Amino acid sequence: MISDFTSATMITSALSILFLVVCLFRLHHDYFEDAFREGMFGLRDELFDFGVRGELAFSHPAYQLLRTTMNGFIRYGHRLSIIQVALIAMTRKRSLTQPSFIDQWEVALRECPPEVRVKLLGLRRRMNIFVAIHMIRVSPLALLLLFALLPSSILGLLISQAFSRIKVSSRRWMTNEMDSTALAIGASKELASACA
C-alpha cells in the first residue's frame, strides 16, 4: 500500500517533470526564436551601417542579396529546424530560371574590392553561424544528441589532457605533421573563398 506522503511525492514529481518539459520544449523555443531574430537584426544593422558609411552602395547586388537573405531568416526563422531544412534540401527542385544563392553571391562578390569582400564574407559567415546555432537550439533531437554527446566530449578532453603529459617525440612529430597539413588546407580554402 502506498502511503499518502509517497502518493503526494509522486504527483508533485510528475507535475514538476511536466513543467520542465513544457519549459524546455515550448518556452525555450520562443526565447531562442526571439534571440535568433534579434541577432539577425543586429547583423542587418551592421550591413546597413556598412552602406551608410559608403563602403558599399545600397544598390549593389551583394548588399541586396545579403539583406534579402537576412530578411528571409528574420521573417521565417520560426520555421527553421534541422528536419525542415533536410526536407527542403531533399524535395527542392533546382529552378532553371533563377540561379542559386551561391551563384549570385559569387558574381556579386567579384565586383567588390578585396577589403569589402572580406567584410561581406564575415557577415555571411556570422549569419550562417546564427542559423546553425538556432537550428540546434530549437530541435529537441539535436538538443538530446548534444547532451548525450557532452559527457563523451568531456571524457575525450580528459583523455587528451592525459596524453598531453606524455612526452613522446614521435607523437609530437605526428601531431605537428597533421596540424601543419590542416593549417595548409584551411588556409587554402580561406584564400579561395576570400578571392571568390
Domain that holds residue 195: 166-196
The one-letter amino acid at 190 = E
Same domain (yes/no): 18, 85: yes
Greatest CA separation for the chain? 80
Note the pLDDT of residue 79. 78
Has residue 2 been placed in a domain? no
The confidence score (pLDDT) of residue 193 equals 44
Residues 176, 155 share a domain: no
Q: How many residues does the chain have?
A: 196
Measured in degrees and rounded to the nearest 5, phi and psi for residue 19 equal: -60, -45
Residue 188 falls inside a structural domain: yes
Report yes or no on 66 lying in a domain: yes
Three-state secondary structure call for residue 92? coil
For the chain, the first-to-last Cα distance in angstroms comes to 74
Same domain, 156 and 171: no
Q: Is 3 a member of any domain? A: no
Q: How far is CA 9 from the centre of its chain?
A: 41
Q: How many structural domains compose the chain?
A: 2
Tell me the helices (H) and strands (E) count for the chain, helix number first: 8, 0
Quick one: 150 and 183 in the same domain? no
| Statement to judge: residues 141 and 62 lie in one domain | yes
Q: Which three cell numbers stand for residue 29?
A: 523555443
Asked if 72 and 88 count as a contact pair (C-beta separation under 8 A), the reply is: no
Pair 12, 109 in one domain: yes
Residue 5 has a pLDDT of: 78
**Other Cβ atoms closer than 10 A to 150:** 10
For residues 115 and 68, what is the distance between their CA atoms, to the nearest angstrom? 22
CB-count burial class (<10 Å; 0-12, 13-18, 19+) for 63: buried
Residue 71 lies in a domain: yes
In a domain, 1, yes or no: no
What is residue 69's predicted lDDT score, i.e. its pLDDT? 87
Q: Phi and psi (nearest 5°) for 167?
A: -105, 90
Together in a domain, 14 and 33: yes
User: Is residue 84 domain-shared with residue 175, that is, in the same domain?
Assistant: no
Residues 122 and 186 in one domain: no
**C-alpha span between 124 and 145 (Å, rounded):** 27
98 and 180, same domain (yes or no): no
Q: Would you give per-residue pLDDT tens digits along the chain (196 residues)?
A: 677 778 888 888 888 888 877 776 667 778 888 999 999 999 999 999 999 999 999 999 999 888 888 888 888 888 777 777 777 667 666 555 667 778 888 899 998 999 999 999 999 999 888 888 888 888 777 767 766 776 666 656 666 655 555 444 443 333 333 333 334 344 444 444 443 4
The whole-angstrom separation of Cα 135 and Cα 88 is 14
Looking at the structure, do residues 171 and 107 belong to the same domain, yes or no?
no
Question: pLDDT at position 179, please?
Answer: 34
Cα distance between residue 178 and residue 172, in whole Å: 10
Distance between CA atoms of 111 and 104, rounded to whole angstroms?
Answer: 12
**What is the predicted pLDDT for the residue at 150?**
66
Same domain, 155 and 195: no
Is residue 53 classed as helix, strand or coil in its secondary structure? coil
